[in-house]
Amino acid sequence: MQLKKVMVWDLPTRLFHWLMVLAFALAWATHDASRHLDIHTIAGYTFFGLLLFRLIWGVVGSHYARFSEFSYTPREVLSYLRSLMGSGVKHYIGHNPAGAWAIFILITLGLLLAITGVAVLGGEEQQGPLASYISFDQSVPFSMLHEAIAWLMIALVAVHVSGVIIESMLHRENLVGAMFRGTKWVAGESAQVSPHRLVATVILVPIIIWSGLSFNTYLIATDDQPYLPFKGPSLAMNELWNEECGACHLAFHPSLLPARSWQHLFEQQQDHFQEDLMLDEETLNELLQYAQENSAEQKKTEAAWKINRSVTDDARPLQITATAYWKDKHSDVSDATWKREEIQSKANCGACHYDAEQGTFQDAAMKIPK
Amino acid sequence: MKNRVLMIATVVMGLTVGVQVHADSVATLQSAYQAQGAGEFSAGAGEKMWQQPYLNKKSGKQRSCQTCHGKDLSKIGKHARTGKVIDPLAPSVNGERLTKVKFIKKWFKRNCKWTIGRECSAQEKGDFLEYLKGQ
């Protein structure tokens, strides 16, 4: 039989496919690293944008990219899967019924993943378009959904990749290569699609410019002027607090412990970690008032909210380092790191957190000194 | 020309006021100490006490003013426990030092207790000021 080389996947479809893979992998790699939350977010928005493009392209795109070309009934999927066991497997030039369903489910999950991601960004970080609409507490279910959907997607990707390998072997056809080159060797009649290079340029250029601008900030950052994405609103400061507490140690912001802890701490000011603070009553009252108005319960930052959540109601820790959240968050910092010349003490927050004095403790405002 | 004269006058006046504030706070405190029964103040006695180590019973370690303020008062010191940087104490390099009566009183109280284990006497505090103001 005469084989003919035809263009099956246009350039925008292929770009969409591989950029999705890249964006998903980047977001997955950075999902747990607060320091790289900006990369996670940029990858996530790119992912979202690509999916929205695909929805449009599924309607107005070239022949094999259109949803209508690969919409199969569940019965067709089942009969295709059953035929895999037999000998007479039908050969599809575009997507086969099982692959098509995987794509529809992946696109749906992808959209849900992106939407819940924006919700988590708004709630947990108070950043992005939903920042003022979702509270810290309301972000919890979104966060759980976001993670569950990501795992589901990983599982489905595994199914999708297995399918690609199985079908490539069954038909002795390199499907992965076809997704790169866009062409397949086809016997008989097939639609020949245009590569649509202009559309591909229209999606590629903004992504390159945007990520270039975002990541360029890393290149121009220096140790003295580090790149700090995610600047949030600043916290209330108190001159007396900074002067009194800051004379001997970092003036830990009151948002880092619950009000009952501060109350307890000032009650025993004559034995403040073996020092006598000797604060007069007027000073004490002002400090306590500032502490209570800005304590962890006020949930003014992500750190405040999470610290407060991690302290049981009957506990009133005197050290931030004694809270469960702090311990968990710093569990992967080794003893050797703590002993470094620039760090020395667990109370020396400013050694790694650029915004320790401001008390904001933004996720990405952090770097462990070498 | 007129502007420059004005500028120089302002700077000179600013400096004088600065020196005066410093002199005033120290003088105010010293006369208060004398009213409490202290005699003449000696920079030498102040210096000697400043450098003398005292044994702290709780920690079993020697403590002196230099533990945190360092040996050279024109340089930064380091808090013995937290490592927090302490600005130089010498008024010759740090104009803010010895200018606020309330501040001086507070730190005499805290630091005498930490270093020596008791509050300092009026005579001792006056001697310290006599020594420090010349640094």
Is A345 within 8 Å of B84 when comparing Cβ atoms? no
Predicted confidence (pLDDT) at residue B15 exceeds the cutoff of 70: no
Is A348 within 8 Å of B113 when comparing Cβ atoms? no
Nearest residue on chain B to A346, judged by CA atoms?
B82
CB burial readout A230-255, b (16+ within 10 A) else e: bebeebeebeebeebbeebbbbbbbb
The pLDDT, as a whole number, for residue A225 is 76
The model's confidence at residue A35, banded by pLDDT at 50, 70 and 90, is confident
The pLDDT, as a whole number, for residue B39 is 87
What's the rounded mean pLDDT across residues A288-292? 96
Instruction: Name the residue among B79, B82, B113 with its Cβ closest to that of A276.
Output: B113
Residue B87 has a CB neighbour count (10 Å cut-off) of 13
What's the rounded mean pLDDT across residues A261-278? 90
The tokens describing B29, both together, are 């405190």
CA distance A178 to B131: 86
The pLDDT, as a whole number, for residue A33 is 72
Quick one: which of B4, B5, B20, B25 has its CA closest to B98? B25
The tokens describing A242, both together, are 């900074």
Is B82 within 8 Å of A274 when comparing Cβ atoms? no
Least Cα separation, residue A325 to chain B (angstroms) = 23
Question: Residues A190-207: pLDDT tens digits?
Answer: 788 899 999 999 999 999
The model's confidence at residue A345, banded by pLDDT at 50, 70 and 90, is confident
Lowest mean pLDDT among A44-48, A286-290, B123-127: B123-127
Give the domain range for residue B76. 2-133
**Which sequence spans correspond to the domains of chain A?**
3-220, 240-351
Amino acid at A197: R
For residue A245, which residues of chain B lie inside 8 Å, CB to CB? Answer: none
Least Cα separation, residue A248 to chain B (angstroms) = 6
Predicted confidence (pLDDT) at residue A322 exceeds the cutoff of 90: yes
**At B86, phi and psi to the nearest 5?**
-110, 125
Nearest residue on chain B to A277, judged by CA atoms?
B110
Long-range contacts of B97-100 (CB under 8 A, 24+ apart): B97/B22, B97/B132, B98/B22, B98/B25, B98/B26, B98/B129, B98/B132, B98/B133, B99/B21, B99/B22, B99/B25, B100/B25
CA distance A244 to B110: 12
The tokens describing B19, both together, are 């020196």
The model's confidence at residue B1, banded by pLDDT at 50, 70 and 90, is low
The pLDDT, as a whole number, for residue B81 is 81
Q: How many independent structural domains does chain B possess?
A: 1
The tokens describing A158, both together, are 């595994």
CA distance B63 to B118: 13
What's the rounded mean pLDDT across residues B67-90? 88
Is A248 within 8 Å of B82 when comparing Cβ atoms? yes
What's the rounded mean pLDDT across residues A12-21? 96
The pLDDT, as a whole number, for residue A285 is 94
Which 3-state string (H, E, C) describes chain B? CHHHHHHHHHHHHHHHHHHHHHHHHHHHHHHHHHHCCCCCCCHHHHHHHHHCCEECCCCCCEECHHHHHCCCCCCCEECCCCCCEECCCCCCCCCCCCCCHHHHHHHHHHHHHHHCCCCCCHHHHHHHHHHHHCC
Question: Residues B23-74: pLDDT tens digits?
Answer: 688 888 899 998 988 889 989 999 999 999 999 888 888 899 999 998 899 9
Nearest residue on chain A to B108, judged by CA atoms?
A278
Q: Which residue has the tokens 């059953």?
A: A82
Cα angle A322, A326, A331; round to 5 = 105
B114 close contact with A: CB closer than 8 A: yes
**Higher-scoring residue by pLDDT: A218, A311:** A311
The model's confidence at residue A146, banded by pLDDT at 50, 70 and 90, is very high
Question: Residues A59-115: pLDDT tens digits?
Answer: 999 999 999 999 999 999 999 888 888 777 788 889 999 999 999 999 999 999 999
Is A274 within 8 Å of B58 when comparing Cβ atoms? yes
**Higher-scoring residue by pLDDT: B21, A218:** A218
Predicted confidence (pLDDT) at residue A14 exceeds the cutoff of 70: yes
Question: Residues A168-179: pLDDT tens digits?
Answer: 998 888 999 999
With an 8 Å Cβ cutoff, the interface of chain A facing chain B consists of 246-250, 273-278, 344-345, 347-348
CA distance A343 to A337: 8
Is B114 within 8 Å of A275 when comparing Cβ atoms? yes
For residue B58, which residues of chain A lie inside 8 Å, CB to CB? Answer: 274
The pLDDT, as a whole number, for residue A171 is 85
CATH code of B56's domain: 1.10.760.10
Fold of A3-220: Fumarate Reductase Cytochrome B subunit (1.20.950)
Lowest mean pLDDT among A54-58, A161-165, B7-11, B111-115: B7-11
What's the rounded mean pLDDT across residues A26-38? 87
- Considering chain A, what is the average pLDDT of its residues? 91
The pLDDT, as a whole number, for residue A252 is 96
CA distance A267 to A261: 10
Nearest residue on chain A to B86, judged by CA atoms?
A247
**Higher-scoring residue by pLDDT: A232, B47:** B47
What's the rounded mean pLDDT across residues A33-59? 93
Nearest residue on chain A to B84, judged by CA atoms?
A249
Across the A:B interface, residue pairs with CB atoms under 8 Å apart total: 28
pLDDT over 70 percentage in chain A: 100
For residue B79, which residues of chain A lie inside 8 Å, CB to CB? Answer: 248-249
